[in-house]
Amino acid sequence: MRVLLVEDDATLGDGLQVGLRREGFAVEWLQDGLAADAALRTERFAALVLDLGLPRLGGLELLKQLRGRADSTPVLLLTARDHVDDRIRGLDGGADDYVVKPVAIGELAARIRALVRRSQGIAGAELAAAGVTLDPGSRLVRAHGEPVDLSPREFAVLQELLLHAGRVLTRQQLESRLYEWDQSLESNAIEVHVHHLRRKLGPGVITTVRGVGYLVPRPERRVDG
Ligand code: CA
């Protein structure tokens, strides 16, 4: 799951970036509003973690422009404890949730996971399809009830496929959602992860759509809309 973090405070931004990576997110960290706006116009992110007081373009203005072009990327605000008005304006301006600084990383990560789940119309905390369940919080994966040991990258690939179950993801889409801009990756990395996942999960979970990409079947239970 790739998130865009926009925070101009270097110490806080770095701490959040490191913490979210430890929680299994791929993180792009930008420190000014204009750069974030440009990134959001060209790239897709699972969620946006947004500070309000930013140089060059403020968080509320960035949010207004994002929603103005009907971009529904989930947005979580970073706000100061005593700035209630900011939170009200942010939520009314299209943000989905907020956390108060100083930020507890575990809570921030859980809130991001909840927002992403909701944005994908998934009701429960667990992602499930084809006899496989994945709990994004505990990072526990089971195939037909048996725990499965996955590498962080394999976990990330499976999580993306389950989040978009019933839809084909291309190799490029998987790459862009998993990897960060500054990370070089082997051209066949996704194929290798899928190969290992198939071996660990068994047949019938990940289907190759020749020339297009990969999919897992639609989950058993889903909320419409
Ligand atoms: Ca700031």
CA of 165 to the centre of ligand 1 (A): 37
CA of 9 to the centre of ligand 1 (A): 6
CA of 41 to the centre of ligand 1 (A): 22
What is the helix, strand, coil percentage profile of the chain, to 5? 40, 20, 40
Tell me if 20 sits within 8 A of 105, measured CB to CB: yes
CA of 81 to the centre of ligand 1 (A): 13
Can you give the pLDDT at residue 222? Answer: 47
Classify residue 149 by burial, with Cβ atoms within 10 Å: 0-12, 13-18, 19+: exposed
CA of 178 to the centre of ligand 1 (A): 27
Q: Sign of the CA dihedral 52, 55, 61, 67?
A: negative
Cis check for the bond before 102: say yes or no (omega within 30 of 0): yes
Cα(48)–Cα(101) distance, integer angstroms? 16
Structure tokens at 32: 């000014």
Can you give the pLDDT at residue 188? Answer: 83
Can you give the pLDDT at residue 125? Answer: 82
pLDDT beneath 70: ranges in the chain: 181-184, 219-225
- Could you list which residues have their CB under 5 Å from ion ligand 1? 8, 51, 53
The C-alpha R_g of the chain, in whole angstroms, comes to: 18
CA of 52 to the centre of ligand 1 (A): 6
Query: What pTM, to 2 d.p., does this model score?
Result: 0.83
Can you give the pLDDT at residue 225? Answer: 43
Cα(56)–Cα(156) distance, integer angstroms? 34
CA of 49 to the centre of ligand 1 (A): 12
Structure tokens at 34: 């204009």
CA of 170 to the centre of ligand 1 (A): 36
CA of 38 to the centre of ligand 1 (A): 18
Q: Which of 108, 130, 122 is nearest to 216 (CA)?
A: 130
CA of 27 to the centre of ligand 1 (A): 18
Instruction: Give 89-118 pLDDT, tens digit per residue.
Output: 999 999 999 999 999 999 999 999 999 999
CA of 186 to the centre of ligand 1 (A): 36
Give the Cβ contact number of residue 40 at 10 Å: 20
Can you give the pLDDT at residue 182? Answer: 61
Tell me if 99 sits within 8 A of 107, measured CB to CB: yes
CA of 125 to the centre of ligand 1 (A): 32
Bridge partners (DSSP) of residue 134 are 127, 141
Give the Cβ contact number of residue 192 at 10 Å: 13
Structure tokens at 50: 């947004």
CA of 108 to the centre of ligand 1 (A): 17
Can you give the pLDDT at residue 176? Answer: 80
CA of 136 to the centre of ligand 1 (A): 29
In terms of DSSP bridges, do strands 47-51 and 213-215 run parallel, antiparallel, or are they unpaired?
A: unpaired
CA of 16 to the centre of ligand 1 (A): 13
Can you give the pLDDT at residue 92? Answer: 96
Cα(87)–Cα(77) distance, integer angstroms? 8
In terms of DSSP bridges, do strands 140-143 and 132-135 run parallel, antiparallel, or are they unpaired?
A: antiparallel
